[in-house]
């Protein structure tokens, strides 16, 4: 079956000007990403801040027009859609941000915040049914349906994220892009929100593209994981493959630094992998493997030849000339 979302060699970013009279350069925050998400599936895109994952999110929800490549929705290229078609797409793909307080208008009540979506997208719920539907959605996300007349500041951070989720669900989307959606929350609240998202997926069949810097969060949540470094996916696979058989040095470093992943705690105590060197700028990425300035396994070939994302006989694709075959603890 056709995936809900497909990214095909997506190149995206922004234009920057060098110097006073400078030319405008394309800064490729996303340097050729391919990825798919099926109906009802959860794909996690993981990487450090600045790796381009939020740029992917913005391209997926068509807040940003890519330089090249395609964003396909149900098999159809949707880059550059306008007018009614763009509006229809925006209904089907919702975005939930890290900071619900910044994305929820503080002057609107919860009822107004949720029903606004039906004003923008008429035909989903008729106005005389709005109050009942708001109450139903609040109950669905674990909030008191009697609190519809309250304002965002009257809720806790976790509750505000539940309001954002209710608002996203109001238009009955097929895909929700969660950009660091639980990163600002305490660990116990994170777990509650992830549980809620899973239940909603089970009941509604919604797909998630879940974007995070924290591999520790996604182990029991993701179906598949794609690891992004400086604009490219360097490794992807089923969640268990990534956690049990990570091959790319960068993925291993991320796992080593993930304190919430129990299985890796021993390894961390035996000497966590600490990445040295700054994250290179996407303005001026290193030649060859973009990770070579920070990789402890780098050899001459890595400095000149960019590794492709290929399945190298180990069951899932990895972009490294010298993928690991040893268990992580042996490093």
* Chain contacts with ligand SF4 (rule: CB under 6 A): 248-249, 289, 291-292, 295, 297-298, 302, 307, 320-322
Partner whose footprint covers residue 114, from Mg ion, ligand SF4, none (CB < 5 to 8 Å by kind): none
Q: Closest approach of Cβ 104 to ligand SF4, in Å?
A: 41
Q: Closest approach of Cβ 202 to ligand SF4, in Å?
A: 37
Sign of CA pseudo-dihedral 46, 52, 54, 55: negative
Partner whose footprint covers residue 191, from ligand SF4, Mg ion, none (CB < 5 to 8 Å by kind): none
Using alpha carbons only, what angle is made at residue 324 by residues 323 and 325, rounded to the nearest 5 degrees? 120
212 binds Mg ion (CB under 5 A): no
Secondary structure of 152-214 in HEC code, one letter for each residue: HHHCCHHHHHHHHHHHHHCCCCCEEEEECCCCCCCHHHHHHHHHHHHHHHHHHCCEEEEEECC
Nearer Cβ to ligand SF4 (3/249): 249
Nearer Cβ to Mg ion (7/295): 7
* Ranges within 36-95 binding Mg ion (CB under 5 A): 54
Q: Closest approach of Cβ 68 to Mg ion, in Å?
A: 22
Q: Closest approach of Cβ 29 to Mg ion, in Å?
A: 10
CA dist 291 → 228, 233, 248, 278 (Å): 11, 12, 10, 11
Nearer Cβ to ligand SF4 (91/229): 229
Q: 253 near 275, Cβ under 8 Å?
A: yes
Partner whose footprint covers residue 217, from ligand SF4, Mg ion, none (CB < 5 to 8 Å by kind): none
Nearer Cβ to ligand SF4 (297/316): 297
Q: CA-to-CA distance for 89 and 71, rounded, in angstroms?
A: 12
Q: Closest approach of Cβ 98 to Mg ion, in Å?
A: 8
To 10 degrees, the CA torsion angle through 17, 20, 23, 26?
-10
Nearer Cβ to ligand SF4 (142/286): 286
To 10 degrees, the CA torsion angle through 230, 292, 236, 204?
-30
Residues at the contact surface with Mg ion, assessed by CB under 5 A? 54
């Amino acid at each position: 079956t056709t995936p809900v979302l497909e990214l095909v060699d997506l190149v995206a970013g922004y234009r920057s000007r060098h110097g006073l009279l400078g030319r405008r350069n394309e800064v490729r925050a996303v340097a050729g990403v391919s990825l798919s998400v099926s109906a009802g599936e959860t794909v996690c895109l993981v990487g450090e801040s600045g790796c381009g994952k939020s740029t992917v999110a913005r391209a997926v929800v068509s807040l940003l027009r890519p330089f090249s490549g395609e964003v396909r929705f149900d098999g159809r290229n949707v880059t550059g859609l306008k007018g009614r078609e763009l509006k229809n797409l925006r209904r089907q793909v919702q975005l939930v941000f890290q900071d619900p307080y910044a994305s929820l208008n503080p002057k609107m009540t919860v009822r107004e915040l949720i029903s606004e979506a039906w004003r923008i997208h008429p035909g989903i719920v008729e106005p005389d049914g709005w109050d009942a539907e708001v109450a139903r959605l609040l109950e669905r996300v674990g909030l008191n349906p009697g609190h519809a007349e309250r304002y965002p500041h009257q809720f806790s951070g976790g509750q505000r994220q539940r309001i954002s989720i209710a608002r996203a669900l109001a238009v009955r989307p097929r895909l929700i892009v969660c950009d660091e959606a639980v990163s600002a929350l305490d660990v116990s609240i994170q777990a509650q929100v992830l549980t809620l998202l899973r239940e909603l997926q089970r009941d509604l069949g919604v797909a998630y593209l879940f974007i995070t810097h924290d591999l520790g969060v996604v182990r029991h949540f993701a179906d598949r994981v794609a690891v992004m470094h400086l604009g490219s996916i360097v490794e992807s696979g089923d969640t268990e493959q990534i956690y049990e058989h990570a091959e790319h040095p960068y993925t291993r470093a991320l796992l080593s630094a993930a304190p919430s992943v129990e299985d890796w705690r021993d390894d961390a105590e035996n000497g966590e992998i600490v990445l040295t060197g700054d994250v290179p700028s996407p303005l001026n990425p290193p030649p060859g493997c973009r990770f070579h300035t920070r990789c402890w396994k780098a050899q001459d070939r890595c400095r000149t030849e960019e590794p492709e994302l290929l399945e190298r006989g180990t069951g899932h694709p990895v972009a490294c000339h010298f993928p690991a075959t040893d268990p992580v603890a042996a490093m």
